[in-house]
Amino acid sequence: MPNIIAVVCASYGLAQSVCDGEDLPARAERFFRSDHTNNWAVLVCTSRFWFNYRHVANTLSVYRSVKRLGIPDSHIVLMLADDMACNHRNPKPATVFSHKNMELNVYGDDVEVDYRGYEVTVENFLRVLTGRLPPSTPRSKRLLSDDHSNILIYLTGHGGNGFLKFQDSEEISNVELADAFEQMWQKRRYNELLFIIDTCQGASMYERFYSPNLMALASSQVGEDSLSHQPDLAIGVHLMDRYTFYLLEFLEDIHPASQANMNDLFKVCPKSQCVSTPGHRTDLFQRDPGSVLITDFFGSVRKVEITMETINLTVPGIPLERFGGEPHTETALAYVDQLPVAQIIHQKPKQKDWHPPDGFILGLWTLILLVFFRTYGIKHLKHIF
Amino acid sequence: MTARHPRTPAPLLVIGQRFLTQLLIGQRPRRTGSLWPSFHSRWPRWKWVSFLFILPRRRRSPRPQSGMKVRPVLSDPEKQRGRSAAVAIAALVIAAGIPLWWKTTETYRAWLPAARIGELEALQLELRVEVEVVFARGTLSPEQQKKVPASRMREQTYESCCKSKSLCLVEADHALHTLTETSCGSVVIYIIPEASALLPQDMRVYVGRSRTALLRSQVASVVGAGLPEVLAALDPQMEQVLQTMSFNHQDVTAALTDRLRPGLSTRDSLADSMRAFKSSPGYEITFSLLNPDPKHHQLHWDVEAALDAYIYPLLHKMAPVANFSVDSQILYYAVLGVNPRYDASASAYTLSADSLAHVINPVEARLGSNAASSNPVLNFLLYVPDSLHSPLIIRNDQKQEVASNAFHSPRWGGIMVYNVDGAYGNDTQFPVDIAIDMSRVMGVFLSQLRLMLGFQQTGAPPGFVLEAAGREGVAEWELDRLLWSRSVENVATASASITSLAQLLDQIANIVINDNIAQQVASAVTALQAAVAELEAGNLALALEHSREAISASERAFFDPSLLHLLYFPDDQKFAIYIPLFLPMCVPILLSLLKIFREVQQHRAEKRAKRD
């Protein structure tokens, strides 16, 4: 006879009526409907500058929803340029609004941005996904997922056919992204992965995926542009993109115990509202999308088991032995070092490799030398060298 | 002002290039003194500006008639010199330049043992368990006894003090345990006669706290039956014992889930594998006391002593498996995210099983973790309800009270609710000092910890009795079970990492493979092969050590920060870089070589025509 009764309906609203009449196999079935034990989210906004306000608002709104549905900050990797709230052009400093008339401030007091400013690069993004971070990276900047983690990845910014632009200076291609996901699969760094992208021609980014258990949604097809939703006349920029706006409206109705599934998510923002045609890709996903709950990715519903067995440690008469041996005196308590301080302080400065001067400098010096010798004649060469 | 060749132009920007081309084509400006055409030309300075706008030049010499190409007339030695200069430069570029460029743009790829890595793909694991079977007196007839090949025929009697059966068994087991030295991974089975009173009637097998098992022989000693028949009859029962004590098919497939296709593992093993943490070099265990009501309850918990007494023995035994770091904290004003419902019949607040799933998330935001390490964290929370919501009991699906008042979440940890309302009445002066009974608490946490670490509760077959581990935390055969599955898991994960890393490095031809990566890969492969050899030989402790080495080396190699393929140029971008550098240099060389070649051909044609 098993000592532990395997578990528990995750649904709350239906619980009272359903769970009374149900038997153990059906409940066990629901336990095994999705075999994930924790949830992670990687939310990336790839733009900077004031006129890309809407991308930051997009990402922060998804961040708020994901937090509301239960994923803690320690399991969210948020990458933002973070130059909106304290921008000189922001008429309401320390706020980022997602709805016109300044109804909802998504920046809030407790936003935790893990990669900010110039740290949002393609290299860091790929390092986070594949786990190849330098050993000094703190825990909050790592994606510590395991083989039973469901990961939500949300990208927004400016994109094109097969690429996504990062901070106006570099781009990530769909091939690189697909390779990164394959690296994650090789190490079983995810159980299932939901990829949402809200950029122009977003569907091109998931064309090249080839690893199992991936589901992808995009806001527009190849050749279409994703459009922004509404400007706020007081702030002066567009506040949100259409797809994310309607996605958020949909998510507002989701609570941690809701039973909405992925088919509802695919219907978000039809062409009449979005102007572009959202697309999705489920051929690599092993389960039927109709049986995948929204909270499998956006929320964090824990599987819970009642502890039926305990160990009886209260044996009378036997005194508590100290394992360590001698009793230790009251020592003053101190905080644990969170970083290897001694190592950091005594580090030598890193030797920078010498590089020969590059083309522009070389050309400039050649020009200067040529002018000099042309002016004053080649006979002065002997004075220089 | 020195005389200038009429053809060498004034503009600054084309001076060098024109000079070089003229040199190659075979036309060398003759002058005395300076190497470059002098800047002081016939035009005044202000007219230099006009060249910036690429205006047509004013010619002194009359324009030649159209259709007639004006070529400078060179003498033969000059032509010869020009040709030899061109050939010399071309030879220098090809002979010295190309090899130099090739060598300096090579990526450093340290050697990897590709052949051995290829062998890892088809890895066959053989697990061997050392079993010692001891026949007690009375199980074998004298003839069979004579044929027993074992060299140790011990005469050992033990007094059975049968006051109570269970105590007898434990004592017997302890006595037997002191007899034999069992190494890690081995099993000793004592066959006792059927009529023995040591085991109660319905119990066939008793598994003790160490690696011994008592098996009641059900084979009547038939006269004339040979030893092989006796052993063959005992085989299925012994196999059952071994499967309980060491490993069975489900355990091994669960450990190998990474490399097997899904669907092979059963539901039970899937639940077990979801609950326990994957193999990791270290774990962090955090014990937290949640006090939402410090105004009324002043809680004292002697967590250090309790950890010393109850948890550290288990962790010390698990030292070969992983490193553990334990810390504890007290959180004030931390509430559960769920409102408990008041149940008048029990006059207590209840948390139903369905609402437990939503308790963890709000609390988790308040729990800290060590920022410097990336090890998995196990959280054990002790929640003392506030005085308004005391007592708080947890109800399971059948609406029954749970004895332990605790629940756990796979791969996260456990939460126990500790009610203190019984310790004080209504009219005491708040805050009340309350000392928490740590033995009760640690009993629950210890069992949850065992589950999280991988000591699964697979049901024992009928007729088996498994002795509970009690205060030691874990029985030695349970630890052996864990070590078997961990070794197999480590070996599988390490070989998967190495093979996929080798594949990645093969695919991307211009990733730099540093020496340290090659060294890690080589040491991982060596350790893997050693681990497999030790598993075949049956040395479990050594096999685990080697497998841990293998997995840490392979993880370090796989997750090395320098292996990001983004840092290296794809081939098509290389062309974009090299063409502006090499094309302007190569075009004059190639053209001059072509010209020389054509002249030689022409010369030969003329010679042939002359001869004919």
- Tell me the chain A residues in contact with residue B500 when contact means C-beta distances shorter than 8 Å: 186-187
Total H helices, total E strands in chain A: 11, 11
Contacts of A79 (CB under 8 A, 6+ apart): A42, A43, A44, A45, A113, A114, A115, A116, A119, A120, A124, A125, A128
Q: Is A158 a residue of the active site?
A: yes
Q: What is the C-alpha to C-alpha distance for residues B384 and B484, in angstroms, rounded to an integer?
A: 39
Q: Which residues of B touch A300 (CB under 8 A)?
A: 361
The ipTM is: 0.75
Name the more confident of B287 and B221: B287
For the sheet with A305-306, list strands across it. Answer: A305-306, B406-409, B413-417, B377-383, B282-291, B323-332
**CB-based contact B358 A176, cutoff 8 Å:** no
Among residues B539, B544, B486, the alpha carbon closest in space to that of B186 is found at B539
CA angle A300, A301, A303 (to 5 degrees): 130
Give the whole-number percent of chain B exceeding pLDDT 70: 75
More confident call, B223 vs B356: B356
A73, A179, A378 ranked by CB distance to B35: nearest: A378
Residues 37-76 of B with CB under 8 A from A: 38-39
- Rounded to an integer, what distance in angstroms lies between the CA atom of residue A259 and that of residue A296? 10
- For residue B55, the 8-state DSSP code is P
Q: Extract the tokens encoding B429.
A: 């002066």
Interface of A with B in 337-376 (CB under 8 A): 337-340, 370-371, 373-375
- pLDDT given for residue A51 in this prediction: 93
The verdict on A146 touching B (C-beta cutoff 8 Å) is: yes
* pLDDT score recorded for residue B2: 43
Those of residues 441-470 in B touching chain A at CB distance below 8 A are 442-444, 446-448, 451, 457, 459, 468-470
Across A44-48, A359-363, B340-344, B391-395, the highest mean pLDDT is recorded for A44-48
pLDDT of residue A50: 93
| Per-residue model confidence (pLDDT) at position A304 | 87
* pLDDT, position B519: 94
What's residue B173's pLDDT?
Answer: 72
Decide: B554 and B120 in contact? Cβ < 8 Å.
no
Using CA atoms, how far apart are residues B231 and B238, in angstroms rounded to an integer? 9
Cβ-proximal residues to B329 (8 Å cutoff; 6+ apart), any chain = B286, B287, B288, B289, B367, B368
Within 10 A of B190 (CB to CB), how many other CB atoms are there?
Answer: 24
Identify which of B12, B409, B459 has the shortest CB distance to residue A303.
Answer: B409
Residue A366: closest C-alpha in chain B: B16
Cβ contacts below 8 Å, chain A against chain B, sum to 222
Three-state secondary structure call for residue A159:
strand
Whether B15 and chain A come into contact, CB under 8 Å, resolves to yes
Long-range contacts of B417-426, Cβ-Cβ distance < 8 Å, separation of 24 or more = B417/B351, B417/B383, B417/B384, B417/B385, B417/B392, B417/B393, B418/B382, B418/B383, B418/B384, B419/B384, B419/B385, B419/B390, B419/B391, B419/B392, B419/B393, B420/B297, B420/B299, B420/B384, B420/B390, B421/B387, B421/B390, B421/B391, B422/B391
Inform me whether the pLDDT recorded for B147 exceeds 80: no
Q: Which residues between 495 and 514 in chain B have a beta carbon less than 8 angstroms from any beta carbon of chain A?
A: 496-497, 500, 504
Residue whose pair of structure tokens reads 């290389």 in the numeric block: B574
B397 min Cα distance to partner chain A (Å): 8
Q: Which residues of chain A have pLDDT under 50?
A: 1-23, 26-28, 317-327
The pLDDT of residue A8 is 32
3-state secondary structure of A26: helix
Judged against a pLDDT cut of 50, whether residue B423 lies above it is answered with yes
Quickly state the pLDDT bin for B260 (edges 50, 70, 90): low
Chain B residue closest in CA terms to A29: B267
pLDDT digits (tens, 9 = 90+) for B448-475: 999 888 887 666 777 777 777 777 778 8
Quick check: B112 and B505 in contact, CB under 8 A? yes
The one catalytic residue among A45, A200, A269, A274: A200
pLDDT of residue B9: 44
Whole-number Å distance between alpha carbons of B498 and B120: 8
Q: In chain B, which residues have their Cβ closer than 8 Å to the Cβ of A313?
A: 310, 439-440, 442-443, 446, 471
From the centroid of its chain, how far is CA B358?
31
Nearest Cα residue in chain A from B473:
A311
Digit-coded pLDDT (tens) for B217-254: 766 555 556 667 777 777 888 888 888 888 887 778 77
Answer yes or no: is pLDDT of B94 > 70: yes
Its pTM stands at 0.77
* Burial call B280-303: b when 16+ CB within 10 Å, e when fewer: beebbbbbbbbbbbeebbebebeb
Q: Cα–Cα distance between B297 and B295 in angstroms, integer?
A: 6
Nearest Cα of chain B lies from the Cα of A274 at a distance, in angstroms, of 34
Distance from the Cα of A320 to chain B's closest Cα (Å) equals 6
Give Dmax (Cα) for chain B.
136
Instruction: Give yes or no: A229 in active site.
Output: no
Q: Which of B35, B339, B361, B562 to mutate to test the interface with A (most CBs of A within 10 A)?
A: B361
What's chain B's average pLDDT?
79
Strand positions, DSSP E, B318-364: 323-332, 341-343, 348-351
Q: What is the pLDDT of residues B472-513, one digit of tens each?
A: 778 888 888 889 989 999 999 999 999 999 988 888 777 888
| Of residues B38, B410, B442, nearest to A37 (C-beta) | B410
- Answer for the pair A79, A157: CB distance below 8 angstroms, yes or no: no
Best probe of the B interface among A125, A190, A310, by most B CBs < 10 A, is A310
- Mean pLDDT, to the nearest integer, of B97-108? 87
Residue of B370, B398, B566 to mutate, interface with A, max A Cβ within 10 Å: B566
Tell me which residue in A142, A307, A337 faces B404 most closely, judged by beta carbons.
A307
Q: Identify the sign of the CA torsion B30, B31, B33, B35.
A: negative
Higher confidence at residue B46 or residue A368? A368
Whole-number Å distance between alpha carbons of B485 and B251:
7
Tens digits of per-residue pLDDT, B301-320? Answer: 999 999 998 899 899 999 99
